[in-house]
Every structure is written in C-alpha cells, then in structure tokens.
Structure 1
C-alpha cells in the first residue's frame, strides 16, 4: 500500500478502535489476568478462519523458520506482560492517568528507532512529538494521583508503555517477511497461552462472570484488538514503530470522548484544550514524517 493518505487513514481508524480498550476493561467485571486472556483468546478465534480460507496464510504459518517462531513467541510474551501490567494499573489509578502514561510510547520508540533501526528524526518531528505529549498530560493532569496506590498504578502503566514498544519493534522486524495474519495469530495465540498460565497461578475463575463482562471480552477482542492493534501490525510493513507509537497518543483523545458518551464521565475544558493540542501535535508529526519520507 504505497498511498500515504490510505496508510494514515487506516492508522487513525486503528487508533479510534484502540481507544475502546480502556472502556471495555472498565466494563469487564473480572480480574485483569482473565480480561487480558480472553481479549487475546477471542482475537485468536476470530483469526483462525482466515487460515482455512486462505492457503497462503496457512502455508506461511507452517513454513515458519525457528527464528521467526522464536520472535513470534517472544512478541506474544511481550504482549501478555503489557496487558497484565496495564490492566492491573487500572485497578490503582484513574483511566485518564493510566491511558496517558501508557501512551508515552514515543519516548521509548524514538530512542529504540534511533539505536536499533538507525532512524533519523527532524527537529520538527521531535518538537511535534513533545507538543502531543504536553496535550496528553493536560488531558490527564487532574487525574494524576498523589497517593502511594496511584503512583504504583502509574508506574505499572509506564513499564507497560516500554513493553508494548518492544512488542512493536519485534513486529517491525518480523513483518518484513511475514504477512499480518500468520504474525498476529502466532503472537495472539502465544500471548493467550502465557496469560492463561498466569491466570491459573492467580487461582481465579475462567467462567464465573456475568453476560455484560463476556460482551466486554468480545468487544476487546473484536474492536480494540482486531480493528485496533492488528491494524498497527499490518501497517508495520510500511510505517515505522515511531510513527505508530506517535499515533497511539491519539488513544487518549478517543478514550476521553468515548468515556464521556459511554461511562458518563465529564469532558472538561482542560481536557478539551489537551485534546486540541494533542491532535495538532499529531498532525504536525505526520506532516514532517511525510515531508521527510523518500518519494517513490
């Protein structure tokens, strides 16, 4: 897909879908390990038919090299760790605070992109990144807690941001030679396995939940994972981890808007200003990225 316009369109659609993640997590009345497990388990089930109806996907999965298999399992482990840390952080700190901190991925992706992939960033791209980060902090400023419990939740979210950035770097490497369905299936299924084992150690129920929670599990799998995160996996073939991590800053904006309509949370003037600044920073970043990209 050579068109930058189409790439960015799918990028924003993916961000909007991913914005439902924190909403569904809050709606799910279940331990974080179970919520994370069913998110990846149902996502895997949704992708399985694409193996049986597409011989190329099935062939690619069966012909994985040991190195590809190892990277795929590692990406699944990273994804499992990310979800456990992030979902657990929502039990200690606010949705806004956790979401703002977990979207600080550009801080990790810019450093990783520079040292691992020799990526170079213009001053304009770096400046626009900080503009978006400022916008995100304005959105969540009033919700940042000062208690030990809130600080612990914020720390979990910060570590989760670093882990998910590592996941995307692994994906950026694998996606050069592997299509998105086999890659996502390998990562999601292995992640579900790791999360299932973790849930067993927590001695929690896998089945004793109300219908509303099961709907939240399915929503996480379909919208936040398939229409959200998997779109990012797909775009890794054309866009860098840095560009995708920057766009994920928009998740804070989407979560605030959805929380207003779904959770009846108040959308304050401060958050409105933060949303505006974040979107301006994202637009400037994508403009500088497009401007500096080599023309085909």
Structure 2
C-alpha cells in the first residue's frame, strides 16, 4: 500500500507545482520578481531550518560549498523562469520548463562524459520539435519563451550537479542551503531598487502558500515519496507537472487551447516519458541515484 500512496503523493506534488505557474504570474504583477523570489525562498528555507536545525550541523565545509553552488544554479533558473513568465502564458511556461527533463541527460553526457543512447537523442529531437510547434512565431522565439528555455537549461545543470554531490544523509541539509542561497541572491539583486512588499492579503496569502506548500512542503512530500519509489517511477509521476500547468492555465488564466499547443504538448510530454523509460536499465541511466538524492535533485520545478 505504501508504494501506490507514494505515487499518488508525487502526482499531487506535480499538480501543486503545475498550479503555481498561474499563481506566480499573478503575484509578479504586484511586486518586482526579485522581491517575490527573495521572500518566497527565505520563508521556505527558514521553515525547514527551524524544523530540523541540527541537520545543518552535519555538513562539512565542502558540502556547504556544493550546496551554495547548487543554489546559484537554482537561482539563475528561477530568475529566468520568473521573468519569462511575465512575457508568456502559464501553460507555455510550464511546458518549456518541463524541457529540463530532456536537457538533463544531455548535460550529464557533456559534463560528466556519460554516453548517451539513441533513445535519449530521439527524445531530444522530439522535445525540440514539440517546443518549436508550441512557441516559434515565424522564425523567432519570443523573449518569454527564450528566458524560460534558459531556466530549463539551468534546472538541468542543477540536477546534474546534485547527481554528483548529493547523498541520502545530506539531502535535507543541502535542500535548506540551496533554498537559502536562492533567497539571498534574489534579496541582493532586489536591494538596489529597494525591497517593495505590499501589505495586503492579496500578496501575502499566495506568497506564504507558495513558500509553505509549494516549496518547503512539496519538497518534503517528494523526499518521503521518493524514499519509497524507484527513481524512474517518481520521475514519470513528476512529468505530469507541465500537463497540470496547461490545465490550470486554460482553466484560470484564460489561455487559449490551440491545436499547436496540444500537439506540441504531446510531443514534449512524450519525449520526457521516453527519456525516463530509457532510464529503466540502471546501467544506462546517467542519473541513477539513491532515492533521497533523487528527491533533492528534483528541486528544479518550481518547478515554483
């Protein structure tokens, strides 16, 4: 009974992350993106640190460095994603962010010199075709789509970094460090223009919800679930995130559900599934890590 429950929990996490694309787009209309990100991630990191402060004491100096560098990669991803969401639809942002699942084995092959199989290259080509169908207007990609694609690339780099550095017994502490780094980086970038935070509930309710539920809470649920599931099953469940992002975008953000989006979405989700199915054989999976480490590595969707 535990495995089906864990699988359902991951699908719920994917639904929460998919729904955040609409929420983030609305919140960033009220405040500068850096102010929003700083508050969201500092709240999430603070909550996790207060819950289990002793975990941070277990990290060595080198592991603190790994956490800080991973946090910088995550910072760039979130910054690009948040600015990108201001210039594209919620459903489009969700689907392009999902490209990180395809970019990940490519980055692992390039940086870790791990050999890529034919199925991986096919997945990359299929996903690229799907992305083009959804986003290309004429012969150019809009600024929102371009920034979100950069976000997906850095999410992939972040996953590769954690596949190299994360361990099951340090996953919780590294999560706190990374979330804290994202918050501090955004705070520094937003400080020159002054941190401007409205005092009304229309801002703080969604931001606190994002910090507690979609950041701290979702990652803890994911950690619990991935300790009980094979990494491939967990990854397949999480590929539902862009599907939920599209669903919520159409339902709440007045996104138009066109044939191009449907066809492109099918190709991108199919490519993500192909990439993960390719990983079924452990020897062929460049990112086969222990469940808890995989959980920590999956911090890329915000995901938001």
- TM-score class, shorter-chain normalisation, is 0.7 to 0.9
Q: 2:6, 2:110 → 1: CA distance?
A: 25
In the other structure, the counterpart of 2:163 is: 172
Tell me which residue corresponds to 1:47: 48
Give the number of aligned pairs. 277
- On the 8 A contact 1:18/1:227 being kept in 2, the answer is no
| 2:243 is the alignment partner of 1:253 | yes
Give the whole-Å Cα distance in 2 for the aligned partners of 1:129 and 1:270.
Answer: 19
Q: Which residue of 1 aligns with 2:17?
A: 18
Distance 1:281 1:192 in 2: 32
Which of 172, 185, 198 is residue 189 of structure 2 equivalent to? 198
Asked if 1:156 is matched to 2:147, the reply is yes
Matches within 5 A, 1:50-61: 50-51=51-52, 58=54, 60-61=55-56
Q: What is the CA deviation profile of residues 112-155 of structure 1, one whole-angstrom value per residue up to 9, with x for unaligned ones?
A: 211344444432343245434544544x33xx55699x733333
Counterparts in 2 of 1:21 and 1:145: CA distance versus 1, 3 Å: farther
Q: Evaluate the alpha carbon distance shift between residue 182 and residue 120 of structure 1 in structure 2; reply closer, same or farther with a 3 A threshold.
A: same
- How far the C-alpha of 1:49 sits from its partner, in A, is 4.1
TM-score, scaled relative to structure 1? 0.76
Corresponding residue of 1:38 = 39
Match of residue 211, structure 2, among 205, 221, 229: 221
List runs of 5+ in structure 2 lacking aligned partners.
285-304
Residues 86 and 182 (structure 1), Cα distance of their counterparts in 2 relative to 1, 3 Å cut:
same
**C-alpha deviation, 1:180, in angstroms:** 2.6
Where structure 1 has 5 or more consecutive residues not aligned to the other structure, the ranges are 53-57
CA contact (8 A) 2:89 2:249 kept: no
Cα distance in 2 for partners of 1:256, 1:11 equals: 18
User: Partners in 2 of 1:147 and 1:288 — Cα distance?
Assistant: 32
| Post-superposition offset of 1:211 | 1.2
Residues 74-93 of structure 1 correspond to what in structure 2 (within 5 A)? 74-93=69-88
Q: CA RMSD in A?
A: 3.6
User: For residues 271 and 109 of structure 1, do their structure 2 counterparts lie closer, same or farther at Cα, with a shift above 3 Å needed?
Assistant: same
TM-score scaled by length of structure 2: 0.74
